[in-house]
Amino acid sequence: MTTTSTEVVVIGGGQAGLAAGYYLRRAGRDFVILDDQLTPGGSWQHYWPSLHLFSPAEYARLPGWPMPTWPNGFPPAPHVVDYLSAYEKKYTLPVQRPVRVAAVHRTSSGYRVDTDTGSWNATAVINATGTWSRPFWPSYPGMHEYRGTQLHASNYRTPAPFNGQCVGIVGGGNSAAQILAEVSTVADTVWFTTRPPKFLPDDVDGRVLFEVASERARALATGGGDTGGVAGLGDIVMVPPVKQARDRGVLHAQPMFTTLTADGVRGGDTTDKLDAIIWCTGFRPALRHLQPLHLRSDSAAGIALDHNHVHGEPSLVFLGYGDWTGPGSATIIGVGRTARDAVTDLVRDVLD
Ligand code: FAD
């Protein structure tokens, strides 16, 4: 296996990795983007087919080149995949795939990035691996005794397999609301959440969320304190299928069950017989390859960061994981701002 040298290795070729690539290219740096997928598009190529953005295309742009408009409402996931594919071609970003990063080690001059096709020596690493490859399953008593189907939202494709069944949907976020909206067109559904779901007002979509996240970013950057960002507004964007589910009267959550039984779930005095349970319980950052670095965890948000880099280690940058790595940074439009700031800092503090 070969060892190659470059200034920066970007790990992950989804929207965050591409945004980093745009600014590295603009800064004239030597870099490579390593992505373990066969084709471009990051996690967008794996979302369930009916998933649409929660904003119009104009509000889902990466730096430099806007997403082509989508004529009827909010664009579907394949439109995003096409955009990301065209984006990396347009800027001739040096993406290598499929290349899976197995481990990152510190060296005297920076890092050694070990992959399944060889190693890279680099002065700096930008970690942009997203969360999709690490679905989170909570642990409940009886999970192994339950005889129905259990799947995570990351494996959900269409409602067809649930036709005529009774299906439990677990989770209080957008994935849960959207999957419930769709499954409830062919099945009876029971929605379980650990706290009452918080619906955004009907007129709040990705545009408003971006403005609020931007306000927070400005306030934090200018020392104006934390405005709280989008978290205080609510969680669930009322995209058309979710509004329709509300109109059909199926958008009612009940408190989380405590135990799974052989044929359903039990909580308090109630039991529900369920043919299937869909766990819409989120994801965690995909960081296993960083284990050799023994990064220090901070109780609130994972690894302790200063802006976008590891505390005390400006050459190791994290991009695209949500509020932890910058307001709005897990969105297509928001990641550009954090990528720009991260690359500016990296060039000034490490590479020049
Ligand atoms: P990803 O897209 O996951 O890209 C990371 C890439 O790194 C992947 O290709 C992955 O395979 C690769 N990778 C991981 N580990 C390794 C490794 N060890 N070696 C090499 N490669 C690796 N955002 C919006 O802006 N608007 C929306 O409307 C919207 N709706 C959403 C709806 C749902 C249900 C979900 C789940 C997310 C939504 N998002 C939306 C958020 C957005 O899609 C994700 O946050 C975004 O895809 C993250 O981009 P990323 O580049 O950080 O990660």
Question: Atom 24, ligand 1: which residue's CA is nearest?
Answer: 331
Determine the distance separating the centroid of ligand 1 and the alpha carbon of 153, expressed in angstroms: 14
183 in the Ramachandran plot: left (φ > 0), alpha (ψ -120 to 50) or beta? alpha
DSSP letter string over 289-337? Answer: GGGGG-PPEETTTEE-EETTEETTEEEEEE-SSSGGGSTTTTSHHHHHH
42 lines ligand 1 (CB under 6 A): yes
- Burial string for 28-63 (b: 16+ CB within 10 Å, else e) reads ebebbbbbbbeebbbbbbbbbebbbbbbbbebbbbb
- pLDDT tens-digit series, residues 217-261: 667 677 766 666 656 667 898 988 999 999 999 999 999 999 999
The closest-lying atom of ligand 1 relative to the alpha carbon of residue 322 is 45
Q: 234 C-alpha to center of ligand 1: Å?
A: 22
Q: Could you tell me which residues are beta bridge partners of residue 193?
A: 255
What is the rounded distance in angstroms from the CA atom of residue 225 to the CA atom of residue 209? 19
Which atom number of ligand 1 is nearest to the Cα of residue 332?
A: 25
Side-chain half-sphere exposure of 69, counting CA atoms within 13 A: 3
Report the nearest-CA residue for atom 25 of ligand 1: 331
| 8 Å CB contact between 257 and 220 | no
Of 60-64, 123-127, 146-150, 236-240, the poorest mean pLDDT is in: 236-240
Ligand 1 centroid to Cα of residue 269, in Å, is 40
The alpha carbon of 338 and the centre of ligand 1 are apart by a number of angstroms equal to: 15
C-beta of 289 in contact with ligand 1 (< 6 A): yes
Q: What is the Cα–Cα distance from 88 to 40, expressed in whole angstroms?
A: 8
pLDDT tens, residue by residue, 340-351 = 999 999 999 999
Beta carbons within 10 angstroms of residue 285's beta carbon: 21
Q: Which residue owns the Cα nearest ligand 1 atom 9?
A: 42
| pLDDT of the residue at 326 | 84
Q: What is the pLDDT of residues 269-324, one digit of tens each?
A: 889 999 999 999 999 999 999 999 999 877 556 788 988 999 999 999 999 998 88
The residue type found at 10 is V
94: left (phi over 0), alpha (psi -120 to 50) or beta: beta
Condensed to tens digits (0 to 9), the pLDDT of residues 82-125 reads: 999 999 999 999 999 999 999 999 999 999 999 999 999 999 99
d(CA 170, CA 253): 9
Q: Is 154 in the pocket of ligand 1 (CB under 6 A)?
A: no
Ligand 1 atom closest to Cα of residue 17 = 51
CATH numbers and ranges of domains, the chain = 3-134+283-351 (3.50.50.60), 149-199+235-279 (3.50.50.60)
CB of residue 136 inside a 6 A radius of ligand 1? no
Nearest one of 105, 84, 109 to 33, comparing CA atoms: 84
Query: How long is the chain?
Result: 352
Taking the mean position of all CA atoms in its chain, how far away is CA 22? Answer: 20
Neighbouring CB atoms inside 10 A of 262's CB total 9
Q: Is 336 touching ligand 1 by the criterion CB < 6 Å?
A: no
Which residue has a Cα nearest atom 39 of ligand 1? 331
Model pTM? Answer: 0.93
Instruction: Give the long-range contacts of residues 149-154, CB within 8 A, separation 24 or more.
Output: 149/275, 149/276, 149/277, 150/276, 150/277, 150/279, 151/276, 151/277, 151/278, 151/279, 152/278, 152/279, 152/280, 152/281, 153/179, 153/278, 153/279, 153/280, 153/281, 154/46, 154/283
Beta-ladder partners of 119: 3, 114
